[in-house]
Structure 1
Amino acid sequence: MFLVFLCFLFGSSEALLDPDTTNGNSDHTAILQLITQEQSLRLQLESQLHDQQKQMDTLLSRVNNLTDQLTKANQQVAFFGTVGTNIPSADSDKIIKFQQITTNLGSAYNINTGVFHCPVSGIYIVSCSAIGDIGHRVSVNVYQNGNVIARPYDGGIDPAGHASGTDTAVVHANAGDEIYLKNFYTGATYLDNQTRLVVVLIKAD
Protein backbone atom coordinates (compact mmCIF):
# COMPACT_ATOMS: atom_id res chain seq x y z
CA MET A 1 0.00 0.00 0.00
CA PHE A 2 2.80 2.40 0.84
CA LEU A 3 4.48 1.67 -2.50
CA VAL A 4 1.29 2.48 -4.31
CA PHE A 5 1.08 5.84 -2.49
CA LEU A 6 4.68 6.70 -3.43
CA CYS A 7 4.04 5.88 -7.07
CA PHE A 8 0.94 8.09 -7.02
CA LEU A 9 2.83 10.95 -5.39
CA PHE A 10 5.74 10.68 -7.83
CA GLY A 11 3.41 10.63 -10.77
CA SER A 12 1.57 13.68 -9.52
CA SER A 13 4.84 15.60 -9.09
CA GLU A 14 5.88 14.89 -12.67
CA ALA A 15 2.49 15.97 -13.86
CA LEU A 16 2.95 19.31 -12.09
CA LEU A 17 6.44 19.92 -13.42
CA ASP A 18 6.12 18.67 -16.94
CA PRO A 19 3.88 19.93 -19.77
CA ASP A 20 2.07 22.72 -17.91
CA THR A 21 5.36 24.32 -16.92
CA THR A 22 6.01 25.26 -20.54
CA ASN A 23 2.59 26.89 -20.82
CA GLY A 24 3.27 28.82 -17.60
CA ASN A 25 6.54 30.17 -18.94
CA SER A 26 4.86 31.23 -22.18
CA ASP A 27 2.16 33.09 -20.28
CA HIS A 28 4.77 34.80 -18.14
CA THR A 29 6.73 35.86 -21.22
CA ALA A 30 3.58 37.19 -22.86
CA ILE A 31 2.70 39.21 -19.76
CA LEU A 32 6.19 40.71 -19.65
CA GLN A 33 5.88 41.65 -23.32
CA LEU A 34 2.52 43.32 -22.67
CA ILE A 35 3.94 45.24 -19.74
CA THR A 36 6.90 46.38 -21.85
CA GLN A 37 4.59 47.47 -24.68
CA GLU A 38 2.36 49.32 -22.22
CA GLN A 39 5.33 51.19 -20.76
CA SER A 40 6.59 52.07 -24.24
CA LEU A 41 3.17 53.35 -25.29
CA ARG A 42 2.87 55.39 -22.10
CA LEU A 43 6.25 57.02 -22.72
CA GLN A 44 5.25 57.80 -26.30
CA LEU A 45 1.97 59.35 -25.15
CA GLU A 46 3.75 61.43 -22.50
CA SER A 47 6.22 62.66 -25.12
CA GLN A 48 3.39 63.55 -27.50
CA LEU A 49 1.50 65.37 -24.74
CA HIS A 50 4.64 67.30 -23.86
CA ASP A 51 5.14 68.32 -27.51
CA GLN A 52 1.50 69.36 -27.80
CA GLN A 53 1.78 71.42 -24.62
CA LYS A 54 4.81 73.23 -26.06
CA GLN A 55 2.87 73.92 -29.25
CA MET A 56 -0.08 75.22 -27.24
CA ASP A 57 2.22 77.49 -25.23
CA THR A 58 3.75 78.82 -28.45
CA LEU A 59 0.32 79.47 -29.97
CA LEU A 60 -0.88 81.15 -26.78
CA SER A 61 2.18 83.40 -26.78
CA ARG A 62 1.51 84.38 -30.40
CA VAL A 63 -2.13 85.11 -29.64
CA ASN A 64 -1.13 87.30 -26.68
CA ASN A 65 1.38 89.18 -28.84
CA LEU A 66 -1.21 89.75 -31.56
CA THR A 67 -3.70 90.92 -28.94
CA ASP A 68 -1.15 93.38 -27.53
CA GLN A 69 -0.36 94.67 -31.02
CA LEU A 70 -4.05 95.09 -31.81
CA THR A 71 -4.65 96.89 -28.53
CA LYS A 72 -1.77 99.27 -29.19
CA ALA A 73 -2.93 99.82 -32.77
CA ASN A 74 -6.36 100.81 -31.49
CA GLN A 75 -4.97 102.91 -28.61
CA GLN A 76 -6.11 106.49 -28.95
CA VAL A 77 -4.37 109.16 -26.91
CA ALA A 78 -5.00 112.82 -27.66
CA PHE A 79 -5.21 116.00 -25.62
CA PHE A 80 -6.19 119.53 -26.50
CA GLY A 81 -6.69 122.15 -23.83
CA THR A 82 -6.72 125.88 -23.22
CA VAL A 83 -5.52 127.64 -20.08
CA GLY A 84 -8.90 129.33 -19.70
CA THR A 85 -7.79 132.02 -17.25
CA ASN A 86 -4.96 134.55 -17.21
CA ILE A 87 -2.01 133.33 -15.14
CA PRO A 88 -0.14 136.08 -13.27
CA SER A 89 3.60 136.38 -13.80
CA ALA A 90 4.06 135.71 -10.09
CA ASP A 91 3.10 132.09 -10.82
CA SER A 92 5.53 131.70 -13.71
CA ASP A 93 7.52 128.96 -11.95
CA LYS A 94 4.43 126.79 -11.36
CA ILE A 95 3.10 124.11 -13.69
CA ILE A 96 0.60 125.66 -16.07
CA LYS A 97 -2.83 124.04 -15.80
CA PHE A 98 -5.19 123.81 -18.76
CA GLN A 99 -8.69 124.20 -17.39
CA GLN A 100 -10.73 124.21 -20.58
CA ILE A 101 -10.29 120.73 -22.02
CA THR A 102 -11.68 120.02 -25.48
CA THR A 103 -10.15 116.57 -25.98
CA ASN A 104 -8.69 114.11 -23.48
CA LEU A 105 -8.79 110.70 -25.17
CA GLY A 106 -7.15 108.11 -22.98
CA SER A 107 -7.57 110.33 -19.89
CA ALA A 108 -3.83 111.04 -19.93
CA TYR A 109 -4.09 114.66 -18.78
CA ASN A 110 -4.64 115.38 -15.09
CA ILE A 111 -6.48 118.66 -14.72
CA ASN A 112 -5.60 118.86 -11.02
CA THR A 113 -1.83 118.66 -11.50
CA GLY A 114 -1.49 120.02 -15.03
CA VAL A 115 0.61 117.01 -16.02
CA PHE A 116 0.09 114.81 -19.09
CA HIS A 117 1.05 111.22 -18.21
CA CYS A 118 1.90 109.14 -21.28
CA PRO A 119 -0.25 105.98 -20.92
CA VAL A 120 1.74 103.93 -23.45
CA SER A 121 5.21 104.03 -24.95
CA GLY A 122 5.43 105.47 -28.43
CA ILE A 123 5.92 108.52 -30.63
CA TYR A 124 4.09 111.66 -29.51
CA ILE A 125 3.65 115.05 -31.11
CA VAL A 126 3.60 117.96 -28.66
CA SER A 127 2.60 121.44 -29.73
CA CYS A 128 2.12 124.56 -27.64
CA SER A 129 0.87 128.01 -28.55
CA ALA A 130 1.69 130.63 -25.92
CA ILE A 131 0.06 134.05 -25.81
CA GLY A 132 1.18 136.95 -23.63
CA ASP A 133 -0.25 140.21 -22.40
CA ILE A 134 -1.04 142.95 -24.89
CA GLY A 135 2.12 144.41 -26.39
CA HIS A 136 4.57 142.11 -24.62
CA ARG A 137 6.81 139.16 -25.54
CA VAL A 138 6.13 135.69 -24.21
CA SER A 139 7.95 132.35 -23.95
CA VAL A 140 7.09 129.05 -22.24
CA ASN A 141 9.11 125.89 -21.56
CA VAL A 142 7.56 122.54 -22.43
CA TYR A 143 9.08 119.68 -20.44
CA GLN A 144 9.31 115.92 -20.75
CA ASN A 145 10.45 114.50 -17.42
CA GLY A 146 12.21 117.75 -16.59
CA ASN A 147 13.91 118.16 -19.99
CA VAL A 148 12.89 121.04 -22.24
CA ILE A 149 11.52 119.69 -25.55
CA ALA A 150 9.88 122.88 -26.88
CA ARG A 151 9.89 126.60 -26.19
CA PRO A 152 7.20 128.64 -27.92
CA TYR A 153 8.40 132.22 -28.19
CA ASP A 154 7.10 135.37 -29.78
CA GLY A 155 9.98 137.62 -30.73
CA GLY A 156 7.86 140.53 -31.89
CA ILE A 157 5.75 143.02 -30.06
CA ASP A 158 2.33 144.09 -31.21
CA PRO A 159 1.54 147.24 -29.22
CA ALA A 160 -2.13 147.00 -30.19
CA GLY A 161 -2.80 143.32 -29.47
CA HIS A 162 -1.68 139.95 -28.18
CA ALA A 163 1.38 138.28 -29.68
CA SER A 164 1.73 134.51 -29.78
CA GLY A 165 4.45 131.96 -30.34
CA THR A 166 4.14 128.29 -31.26
CA ASP A 167 6.62 125.43 -31.02
CA THR A 168 6.19 121.74 -31.86
CA ALA A 169 8.18 118.66 -30.90
CA VAL A 170 7.98 115.00 -31.94
CA VAL A 171 9.37 112.80 -29.18
CA HIS A 172 9.53 109.21 -28.06
CA ALA A 173 8.07 108.73 -24.62
CA ASN A 174 7.85 105.73 -22.34
CA ALA A 175 4.69 104.79 -20.49
CA GLY A 176 4.54 106.98 -17.40
CA ASP A 177 6.58 109.86 -18.82
CA GLU A 178 5.35 113.30 -17.84
CA ILE A 179 4.79 116.25 -20.16
CA TYR A 180 3.98 119.67 -18.74
CA LEU A 181 4.51 123.42 -19.13
CA LYS A 182 6.38 125.62 -16.67
CA ASN A 183 8.65 128.66 -16.30
CA PHE A 184 6.96 131.05 -18.69
CA TYR A 185 8.27 134.53 -19.26
CA THR A 186 6.33 137.61 -20.21
CA GLY A 187 7.26 141.25 -19.80
CA ALA A 188 3.75 142.06 -18.67
CA THR A 189 1.59 140.85 -15.84
CA TYR A 190 0.13 137.57 -17.10
CA LEU A 191 0.10 134.61 -19.51
CA ASP A 192 -3.03 134.91 -21.61
CA ASN A 193 -5.96 132.56 -21.11
CA GLN A 194 -5.87 131.42 -24.76
CA THR A 195 -2.51 129.66 -24.36
CA ARG A 196 -3.01 126.12 -25.70
CA LEU A 197 -1.43 122.67 -25.60
CA VAL A 198 -1.81 119.67 -27.94
CA VAL A 199 -0.40 116.19 -27.24
CA VAL A 200 -1.20 113.29 -29.58
CA LEU A 201 0.08 109.73 -29.71
CA ILE A 202 1.20 109.12 -33.29
CA LYS A 203 2.31 105.51 -32.99
CA ALA A 204 2.57 103.15 -30.04
CA ASP A 205 5.62 100.90 -29.70
Structure 2
Amino acid sequence: MKISVSFTLWLLLGSISPSESTDYQKSFPQDIYAVLREMTASLVQLKANMLQTQEQAAQLKTEMDKLKTEVDKQKTEVDKQKTEVDKLKQQQIVQQVAFSASLVPKDQRATTGPFPSLTTLIYKHVVTNIGNVYNSNTGVFTAPVKGAYNFEWWVGAFGDNSHGSGAWLVKNSDLLFMNFEQQADGFMSSSKGMTLLLDVGDVVFIRLQTNTVVFDDGGHHTTFSGFLLFPM
Protein backbone atom coordinates (compact mmCIF):
# COMPACT_ATOMS: atom_id res chain seq x y z
CA MET A 1 0.00 0.00 0.00
CA LYS A 2 2.83 2.43 0.93
CA ILE A 3 4.77 1.64 -2.30
CA SER A 4 1.68 2.25 -4.45
CA VAL A 5 0.95 5.62 -2.84
CA SER A 6 4.61 6.75 -3.15
CA PHE A 7 4.77 5.70 -6.80
CA THR A 8 1.56 7.59 -7.54
CA LEU A 9 2.91 10.70 -5.87
CA TRP A 10 6.16 10.41 -7.85
CA LEU A 11 4.24 10.23 -11.10
CA LEU A 12 2.17 13.19 -10.18
CA LEU A 13 5.14 15.29 -9.16
CA GLY A 14 7.25 14.19 -12.12
CA SER A 15 4.64 15.18 -14.66
CA ILE A 16 4.59 18.88 -13.73
CA SER A 17 7.15 21.65 -13.99
CA PRO A 18 8.98 23.08 -10.98
CA SER A 19 6.76 26.13 -10.97
CA GLU A 20 3.69 23.99 -11.33
CA SER A 21 5.01 21.71 -8.60
CA THR A 22 5.30 24.65 -6.28
CA ASP A 23 1.78 25.74 -7.15
CA TYR A 24 0.56 22.11 -6.77
CA GLN A 25 2.18 21.74 -3.39
CA LYS A 26 0.60 25.01 -2.33
CA SER A 27 -2.84 23.97 -3.60
CA PHE A 28 -3.10 20.29 -2.59
CA PRO A 29 -0.77 19.25 0.30
CA GLN A 30 -3.49 19.29 2.87
CA ASP A 31 -5.72 17.02 0.72
CA ILE A 32 -2.91 14.48 0.18
CA TYR A 33 -2.00 14.33 3.84
CA ALA A 34 -5.65 14.03 4.74
CA VAL A 35 -6.03 11.06 2.37
CA LEU A 36 -2.92 9.45 3.82
CA ARG A 37 -4.20 9.95 7.33
CA GLU A 38 -7.56 8.46 6.41
CA MET A 39 -5.91 5.49 4.73
CA THR A 40 -3.63 4.97 7.71
CA ALA A 41 -6.60 5.21 10.08
CA SER A 42 -8.52 2.74 7.91
CA LEU A 43 -5.62 0.30 7.97
CA VAL A 44 -5.32 0.63 11.73
CA GLN A 45 -9.06 0.07 12.12
CA LEU A 46 -8.94 -2.88 9.72
CA LYS A 47 -6.11 -4.41 11.72
CA ALA A 48 -8.05 -3.83 14.94
CA ASN A 49 -11.12 -5.43 13.40
CA MET A 50 -9.07 -8.43 12.27
CA LEU A 51 -7.60 -8.84 15.76
CA GLN A 52 -11.07 -8.58 17.26
CA THR A 53 -12.38 -11.14 14.77
CA GLN A 54 -9.50 -13.49 15.60
CA GLU A 55 -10.19 -13.08 19.32
CA GLN A 56 -13.90 -13.80 18.76
CA ALA A 57 -13.02 -16.83 16.64
CA ALA A 58 -10.67 -18.12 19.36
CA GLN A 59 -13.34 -17.52 22.01
CA LEU A 60 -15.92 -19.31 19.87
CA LYS A 61 -13.54 -22.26 19.40
CA THR A 62 -12.99 -22.41 23.15
CA GLU A 63 -16.74 -22.43 23.76
CA MET A 64 -17.19 -25.16 21.14
CA ASP A 65 -14.42 -27.22 22.73
CA LYS A 66 -16.13 -26.84 26.13
CA LEU A 67 -19.46 -27.85 24.61
CA LYS A 68 -17.88 -30.88 22.92
CA THR A 69 -16.24 -31.88 26.21
CA GLU A 70 -19.59 -31.60 27.99
CA VAL A 71 -21.33 -33.63 25.27
CA ASP A 72 -18.63 -36.32 25.50
CA LYS A 73 -19.02 -36.35 29.30
CA GLN A 74 -22.79 -36.75 29.02
CA LYS A 75 -22.36 -39.50 26.42
CA THR A 76 -19.95 -41.30 28.76
CA GLU A 77 -22.48 -41.00 31.58
CA VAL A 78 -25.28 -42.32 29.36
CA ASP A 79 -23.09 -45.27 28.31
CA LYS A 80 -22.30 -45.96 31.97
CA GLN A 81 -25.99 -45.89 32.91
CA LYS A 82 -26.80 -48.19 29.98
CA THR A 83 -24.12 -50.62 31.17
CA GLU A 84 -25.59 -50.56 34.69
CA VAL A 85 -29.10 -51.19 33.33
CA ASP A 86 -27.83 -54.10 31.22
CA LYS A 87 -26.01 -55.49 34.27
CA LEU A 88 -29.17 -55.22 36.40
CA LYS A 89 -31.18 -56.93 33.68
CA GLN A 90 -28.61 -59.72 33.50
CA GLN A 91 -28.63 -60.12 37.28
CA GLN A 92 -32.41 -60.27 37.24
CA ILE A 93 -32.32 -62.98 34.60
CA VAL A 94 -29.64 -64.93 36.48
CA GLN A 95 -31.60 -64.71 39.72
CA GLN A 96 -34.65 -66.33 38.14
CA VAL A 97 -33.71 -69.94 38.83
CA ALA A 98 -36.03 -72.95 39.10
CA PHE A 99 -36.20 -76.44 37.64
CA SER A 100 -38.21 -79.63 38.00
CA ALA A 101 -37.69 -82.97 36.23
CA SER A 102 -38.68 -86.61 36.41
CA LEU A 103 -36.68 -89.70 35.51
CA VAL A 104 -38.35 -90.79 32.25
CA PRO A 105 -40.67 -89.18 29.69
CA LYS A 106 -44.42 -89.58 30.26
CA ASP A 107 -44.80 -92.18 27.48
CA GLN A 108 -42.22 -94.50 29.05
CA ARG A 109 -41.92 -96.65 32.19
CA ALA A 110 -38.73 -98.06 33.59
CA THR A 111 -37.05 -99.44 36.69
CA THR A 112 -33.51 -98.18 37.27
CA GLY A 113 -31.09 -100.24 39.35
CA PRO A 114 -29.92 -102.01 41.33
CA PHE A 115 -26.24 -101.06 40.83
CA PRO A 116 -23.19 -102.20 42.82
CA SER A 117 -22.11 -98.59 43.42
CA LEU A 118 -23.60 -95.14 43.74
CA THR A 119 -24.97 -94.05 40.36
CA THR A 120 -25.99 -90.57 39.23
CA LEU A 121 -29.64 -90.37 38.20
CA ILE A 122 -30.26 -88.48 34.97
CA TYR A 123 -33.75 -86.98 34.90
CA LYS A 124 -34.77 -86.82 31.25
CA HIS A 125 -38.28 -85.39 31.48
CA VAL A 126 -37.69 -81.71 32.21
CA VAL A 127 -40.88 -79.83 33.03
CA THR A 128 -39.33 -76.54 34.15
CA ASN A 129 -35.83 -75.18 33.64
CA ILE A 130 -35.86 -71.42 34.27
CA GLY A 131 -32.37 -70.04 33.82
CA ASN A 132 -31.25 -73.21 32.00
CA VAL A 133 -29.55 -74.40 35.19
CA TYR A 134 -30.30 -78.13 34.95
CA ASN A 135 -28.55 -80.32 32.38
CA SER A 136 -30.75 -83.20 31.22
CA ASN A 137 -27.74 -84.93 29.63
CA THR A 138 -25.78 -85.21 32.88
CA GLY A 139 -28.45 -84.88 35.59
CA VAL A 140 -26.46 -82.01 37.14
CA PHE A 141 -27.70 -78.64 38.42
CA THR A 142 -25.12 -75.80 38.32
CA ALA A 143 -25.54 -72.70 40.49
CA PRO A 144 -25.42 -69.53 38.33
CA VAL A 145 -25.21 -67.13 41.29
CA LYS A 146 -24.20 -67.34 44.94
CA GLY A 147 -27.23 -67.81 47.14
CA ALA A 148 -29.50 -70.05 49.17
CA TYR A 149 -31.18 -72.83 47.17
CA ASN A 150 -33.89 -75.29 48.07
CA PHE A 151 -33.94 -78.85 46.65
CA GLU A 152 -36.45 -81.69 46.82
CA TRP A 153 -36.20 -85.23 45.46
CA TRP A 154 -38.59 -88.17 45.46
CA VAL A 155 -38.00 -91.85 44.77
CA GLY A 156 -40.60 -94.55 44.15
CA ALA A 157 -40.52 -98.29 43.40
CA PHE A 158 -42.49 -101.50 43.73
CA GLY A 159 -41.56 -103.29 46.93
CA ASP A 160 -40.56 -106.93 46.84
CA ASN A 161 -38.53 -107.02 50.07
CA SER A 162 -35.34 -107.63 48.08
CA HIS A 163 -34.39 -104.07 47.19
CA GLY A 164 -35.14 -100.83 48.88
CA SER A 165 -35.43 -97.46 47.13
CA GLY A 166 -33.15 -94.61 48.13
CA ALA A 167 -31.07 -91.74 46.78
CA TRP A 168 -28.51 -89.19 47.98
CA LEU A 169 -28.42 -85.47 47.36
CA VAL A 170 -24.83 -84.63 46.40
CA LYS A 171 -23.15 -81.20 46.46
CA ASN A 172 -20.00 -81.27 44.35
CA SER A 173 -18.57 -84.55 45.75
CA ASP A 174 -20.22 -84.49 49.21
CA LEU A 175 -23.05 -86.89 50.05
CA LEU A 176 -25.46 -84.80 52.11
CA PHE A 177 -29.00 -86.15 52.73
CA MET A 178 -30.55 -89.50 51.70
CA ASN A 179 -34.14 -90.66 51.49
CA PHE A 180 -34.89 -94.39 51.70
CA GLU A 181 -37.86 -96.75 51.81
CA GLN A 182 -38.20 -100.56 51.74
CA GLN A 183 -41.25 -102.81 52.04
CA ALA A 184 -42.33 -106.34 51.16
CA ASP A 185 -44.93 -105.49 48.51
CA GLY A 186 -46.98 -102.67 47.03
CA PHE A 187 -45.71 -99.36 45.79
CA MET A 188 -43.32 -97.51 48.08
CA SER A 189 -41.99 -93.94 47.94
CA SER A 190 -40.02 -91.49 50.00
CA SER A 191 -38.95 -87.87 49.72
CA LYS A 192 -36.63 -85.36 51.26
CA GLY A 193 -35.67 -81.73 50.88
CA MET A 194 -32.93 -79.40 52.06
CA THR A 195 -31.58 -75.87 51.71
CA LEU A 196 -28.02 -75.27 50.56
CA LEU A 197 -25.73 -72.26 50.38
CA LEU A 198 -24.04 -72.49 46.99
CA ASP A 199 -21.30 -70.50 45.31
CA VAL A 200 -21.28 -69.79 41.61
CA GLY A 201 -20.37 -72.99 39.78
CA ASP A 202 -21.27 -75.42 42.59
CA VAL A 203 -23.07 -78.51 41.30
CA VAL A 204 -25.89 -80.53 42.84
CA PHE A 205 -27.23 -83.89 41.66
CA ILE A 206 -28.87 -87.12 42.86
CA ARG A 207 -27.16 -90.49 43.19
CA LEU A 208 -29.02 -93.76 43.51
CA GLN A 209 -28.05 -95.63 46.66
CA THR A 210 -26.08 -98.87 46.18
CA ASN A 211 -28.27 -101.97 45.58
CA THR A 212 -31.53 -100.00 45.44
CA VAL A 213 -34.03 -99.31 42.66
CA VAL A 214 -36.30 -96.51 41.48
CA PHE A 215 -39.31 -96.64 39.20
CA ASP A 216 -40.85 -93.99 36.97
CA ASP A 217 -43.61 -93.73 34.36
CA GLY A 218 -46.22 -91.22 33.25
CA GLY A 219 -47.14 -90.64 36.90
CA HIS A 220 -43.63 -89.19 37.53
CA HIS A 221 -42.82 -90.90 40.83
CA THR A 222 -39.07 -90.24 40.82
CA THR A 223 -38.34 -86.51 40.57
CA PHE A 224 -35.72 -83.85 41.27
CA SER A 225 -36.54 -80.14 41.77
CA GLY A 226 -34.80 -77.01 42.97
CA PHE A 227 -35.00 -73.23 42.99
CA LEU A 228 -33.16 -70.15 44.22
CA LEU A 229 -34.55 -68.82 47.49
CA PHE A 230 -32.51 -65.61 47.42
CA PRO A 231 -29.07 -64.48 46.14
CA MET A 232 -26.27 -63.51 48.51
TM-score after normalising by structure 2: 0.64
Q: Which residue of 1 aligns with 2:13?
A: 4
- For 2:71, the equivalent position in structure 1 comes to 49
Aligned residues between the structures: 195
Write the distance in 1 (CA, Å) between the matches of 2:133 and 2:91: 20
Corresponding position of 2:226: 200
Given candidates 187, 194, 207, the residue that maps to 1:169 is: 194
Q: Distance in 2 between matches of 1:98 and 1:163?
A: 19
Determine if contact 1:92/1:182 at 8 Å carries over to the other structure.
Answer: no
1:185 is the counterpart of 2:210: yes
Tell whether the 8 Å contact from 1:118 to 1:173 is kept in structure 2 after alignment: no
Q: Deviations over 1:12-36 (max 9, x none)?
A: 9x82873233213212221221122
SS in 1 for 2:42: helix
Identity of aligned residues (%): 12
Residue of structure 2 aligned with 1:150, choices 177, 185, 190: 177
Q: What is the DSSP-based 3-state SS (H/G/I as helix, E as strand, rest coil) of the residue aligned with 1:18?
A: helix
Q: Is the 8 A contact 2:168 2:177 kept in 1?
A: yes
Contact 2:116 2:210 survives alignment (8 Å): no
Q: Which amino acid aligns with 1:29?
A: L
DSSP-derived class of the 2:215 partner: coil
Task: Determine if contact 1:153/1:167 at 8 Å carries over to the other structure.
Answer: no
Give 1:40's aligned amino acid: T
Unpaired runs of 5+ in structure 1?
none
Matched residue SS, 1:89: coil
What SS is found at the alignment partner of 1:98?
coil
Q: Secondary structure at the match of 1:33?
A: helix
What corresponds to 2:151 in structure 1? 126
The answer as to whether partners of 2:118 and 2:210 remain within 8 angstroms in 1 is: no
Does the 8 Å contact 1:92/1:184 carry over to 2? Answer: yes
C-alpha deviation, 1:145, in angstroms: 2.0
Residue number among 138, 141, 155 corresponding to 1:117 in the alignment: 141
Q: Contact 2:168–2:209 at 8 Å: present in 1 too? A: yes
> For residue 196 of structure 1, what is the amino acid of its counterpart?
T
Structure 1 equivalent of residue 129 of structure 2: 105
Question: Residue type of the partner of 1:92?
Answer: S
1:96 is displaced (CA, Å) by: 2.0
Residues 63, 76 of structure 1: CA spacing in aligned structure 2 closer, same or farther, 3 A cutoff?
A: same
Q: Classify the secondary structure of the residue corresponding to 1:20.
A: helix
* Pair 108,35 (structure 1): closer, same or farther in 2 beyond 3 Å: closer
1:80 aligns with 2:101: yes
Q: Greater Rg, structure 1 or structure 2?
A: 2
* Partners of 1:57 and 1:3 in 2: CA distance: 74
